[in-house]
Amino acid sequence: MGFVFRHLLLFFLPIALAIGLHLATAPLRRELHRQSGVFLRDLFSDDPDLVRTTLENVGQGGISLSEGLDWGLRAAVVIAFTGFSLLIPKSASSQSAVNFLTTLCVGFGFAKLNGGFAELDWADLGLCLITGLCLAIVGLNRRLTSLAKPVS
């Protein structure tokens, strides 16, 4: 693949991922909004027993749908960043690899600016990108140094 095409691909893949995840999680987000509406309706009810029951049930239960959606999106960003970094050619110099990783980070930032990953705030997205970047650097280091080993 050409140099420019690879940069464009690494820029637009996170945007496509954000659109795909937004469409794929639409039923979960719809259910989350429905549950939130029921919770608020019960919380502001005129029936004191219903309000008390609602407040008692707040702290109980396992992972909520909202937490599950957040963790799923975090995992998707880390895995996608690491996976997309495999598109960096093995023959790339270290400076070129840094440029490709920077393009990938900018692509994720642009996806966030355009409304993708709306459930993640900037701090969460940044932490996921840092984690993915560390994993990508380890993977790239292993791939790039394996080429430099002399053949015996």
% pLDDT > 90, the chain:
38
Return the closest-CA partner of residue 111 out of 8, 25, 19, 28.
19
Does 14 score more than 80 pLDDT? yes
79 φ/ψ angles, rounded to the nearest 5 degrees = -65, -40
Identify the band that residue 58 occupies on the pLDDT scale cut at 50, 70 and 90.
Answer: confident
Better-scored residue on pLDDT, 104 or 68: 104
Is-contact 104 17, C-beta < 8 A? no
Does 4 score more than 80 pLDDT? yes
pTM listed for this prediction: 0.79
